[in-house]
Amino acid sequence: MTDRFPGAVLFDLDGTLLDSAPDMLAAVNTMRAARGIAPMLLSELRPHVSKGSRAMVQAAFPDLDPAAWEGWIPEFLDVYQSELGRHCGPFDGIETMLGRLEQAGCVWGIVTNKPEYLAAPLLPMLGWQDRCRVLIGGDSLPARKPDPLPLRVAAERIGFAPAQCIYVGDDERDIVAARAAGMPSVVALWGYRLSEDDPFAWQGDVLVDRPHDLCNAMAWPRCHV
């Protein structure tokens, strides 16, 4: 722990900064309605959001032949794009936490597995386009999380060594990527998780219950350098 805020923080997007599950739910329910299937509940889809589009299609259509899931992903992404930003918003406490980081002179950015063409339009919707210093999407580079490449590139683009940044995410792949990049990590316990997930086993440097907790400099792990 440290009594100073970190100089740079990189965040996952869905399930960490953004409660995007309502947009995702609108997309899968549009697909289900087109096939005469009753709507899915938000509580049923929410745990799968951080696992990506494939996991959400599987959750929405559990009776579908597994060989067909891959072919439905483009349809899901197209429908989701039409719902983008219509129902979602930052988690409670995120704006306060980001403002506190900015007041302390911290630089922040986003590294997500969401395709960049879907992540980038959200920034002006949220008022983050001039605040977020770097955005790396799942299609921005040859590799995505849990590979450490996106985190390393993001750190380089904001002028920091990976060990000088902290990564915050709600999925095991986030913590695996951070560790491989040599970057301290924060597990966002407010995010999306399956019931069988054990975030304590991910070996993040710090586990945090609420975004507001990160308004306290003492809640952040110490950078390695």
* Binding-site residue ranges: 12, 14, 170
* Residue 152 to residue 146: CA distance in whole angstroms: 12
Structure tokens at 61: 């259509």
Q: Give the DSSP letter string of 67-127.
A: HHHHHHHHHHHHHHHHHTTTS-EEPTTHHHHHHHHHHTT-EEEEE-SS-HHHHTTHHHHHT
**Is 171 an annotated catalytic residue?**
no
Strands 18-19 and 89-90, by their bridges, are antiparallel
Catalytic hit among 12, 19, 23, 205: 12
The H or E element that residue 11 is part of is strand 8-11
Q: From the annotation, which residues make up the binding site for Mg(2+)?
A: 12, 14, 170
Phi, psi of 57 (to 5 degrees): -65, -40
Structure tokens at 53: 């589009």
Mention every residue, 6+ apart, whose C-beta is less than 8 A from residue 138.
112, 113, 114, 115, 116, 144, 145
* Residues taking part in catalysis: 12
